[in-house]
Amino acid sequence: MDIEGAGAVVTAGLVAGAIEKPTGKAGEAHPHGVCSDCGAETSGNFCANCGQPTHVHRSLLHLGEELLHGVMHFDARIWRTLPLLWLNPGKLTREWVEGKRTRYVSPLAIFLFTLFVMFFALSFMPHKEEASVQPAEIAEQRAVVEAAQQTVNELRADNAQPQAIQAAQMIVDQRREQLLKLEAEMRDGRADGLKPGSWQASLKDMATGDAEEGQPHAKLKVMGKDAEKEGHGIGATVLKKLQNPDLALYKLQQTMYKFAFLLVPLSIPFVALLFLWKRGFTLYDHGVFVLYSLTFMAMLLMLMVLSATIAGWLGGIVIPLGLLAVPVHVFAQLKGAYSLSWFSALWRTIALLVFCNIVVGLFVTAIVYLGLGH
C-alpha cells in the first residue's frame, strides 16, 4: 500500500504538472536569436511563437529540478495560492474565475496533488491496536451464564411451562457457547489467525453471522443470513468480501483514492442549485469553487489526523477547531467568490453543509459498490 501510494503521489504530481502552463526561470537567450524548436526569431527569454525558453538546459541537475518541480510544484505560485486558500478562499476563487490565473496554482492541479498526498500520508499513520480478550470480560460472561442457569433452575423448581423452560435453556446454551469461545480465544487465539478483539475479528464475526445478539450490529447479522439464503445480490457479495477484513479495507482504500475525483461531479450540481435563479454564474465557476474547497478540506483532514497521531491532547485541540473551521471556510468562500451579502452567504452555507452530507453518502455508496460490490 505504501509503495503504491508513493507511486500514486508521483503520478498525481506529474499529471497536475502537465495541467499547469509551463513557468519558471529561463536561461540566457539563444546566441543566434532563433528558437531551437520552431525556428522562429526570438528577442527575449521565451519564444513568442511556441513559448519555449530560448535557452535549453542540458544538465543532469536541471533534469532533477524539472522532476522536483513536476511532482512538488515548488514555485512561487504555491506560496501565493496556499495563504489565500486558507485565509481568503473567496478572493482566490473569484480571481481565478475572472482570469487572474498566472499567479496561482490551478484548482485541478492542486486538488489532484493534495488528494493523493493525503492518501499517501494516511497510509503511514499508525493504527491503534484493539485490546484482546480480557479476564474481566470472561468473568462477566461467566456471571451472565450462571445467572441464566439460575433462572432455568428456578423455572424448573416452580414447574413452569415446558416452553418457558426450553426458551430459557436456549439462552443459557448461547451464553455458554460465547463463554467457551472467549476462553478459547484468550487461551489459544482465533482459529482464523486474527487477533481476538481487533476490528478485523469483529468485522469478520459480523459478516459471518457470529456476532453477539442484542448488539447494535445484530441487524447486520440478520442481513448476512438473509443474503446467504438468497445467494446473490450486492449484499451477499459485500458480506462475502468482509469475511477477509484486511483485503476488504485494502480494496476500499484503493478504490477511494482512485475514484476520489467523483466528489467533484457529485458536488457541482448541489452548488449550482444554490444559484439556480442568479444569472452570471456558470458550472465552470461552481467547479472552481468545489475544487478549491475540497482541497482545503483534504489539507484540514491531514492536519487533524497528524495532530491526533503526534499527541492525544494536541488532537483534542486541533480536531474541534478543525470542525469549526469547516463552516467558517465555506461561508468565507461563498461570500467572497460570489460577492454575496452576509445573509445570502449564511443560508447558502447551511444548505451547502446539508448537501455535503448527501454527497458524502452518495460517495461512500459508490466506493462500497465499486470496491466490494463486484
Burial class of residue 279, CB neighbours in 10 A (0-12, 13-18, 19+): exposed
Chain segment 162-177, per-residue pLDDT in tens: 888 888 888 888 888 8
pLDDT on residue 66: 64
Chain segment 80-96, per-residue pLDDT in tens: 899 999 999 999 999 99
pLDDT on residue 216: 47
pLDDT at 153 over 90: no
Mean pLDDT score, 9-28: 53
Burial class of residue 354, CB neighbours in 10 A (0-12, 13-18, 19+): exposed
Chain segment 176-207, per-residue pLDDT in tens: 888 887 777 666 555 555 665 555 566 666 66
Share of the chain above pLDDT 90, in %: 29
pLDDT at 213 over 60: no
Tell me if the pTM is above 0.85: no
pLDDT at 134 over 90: no
pLDDT at 73 over 60: no
How many angstroms separate the Cα of 94 from the Cα of each of 221, 252, 284, 351? 51, 35, 12, 21
257 contacts 119 by C-beta, under 8 angstroms = yes
Mean pLDDT score, 302-315: 88
Of 55 and 77, the one with more pLDDT? 77
What residue ranges in the chain does DSSP mark as E strands? none
For the four alpha carbons of 229, 235, 236 and 240, in that order, the dihedral sign comes to negative
pLDDT at 129 over 90: no
Greatest CA separation found in the chain?
Answer: 112
pLDDT on residue 203: 61
pLDDT at 1 over 50: no
Place of cell 453471522: 209
How many angstroms separate the Cα of 106 from the Cα of each of 25, 50, 129, 233, 330? 19, 21, 40, 42, 19
pLDDT at 142 over 70: yes
The answer to which of 84-88, 161-165, 235-239, 252-256 has the lowest mean pLDDT is 235-239
Strand partners, 41: 34
Average pLDDT, the chain: 77
**Hey, what amino acid is at 142?**
R
**Residue ranges of domains in the chain:** 76-124+244-374, 135-243
Mean pLDDT score, 268-278: 94
Euclidean distance between CA atoms 242 and 221, whole angstroms:
12
pLDDT on residue 24: 45
pLDDT at 131 over 70: no
pLDDT on residue 291: 95
Mean pLDDT score, 214-222: 48
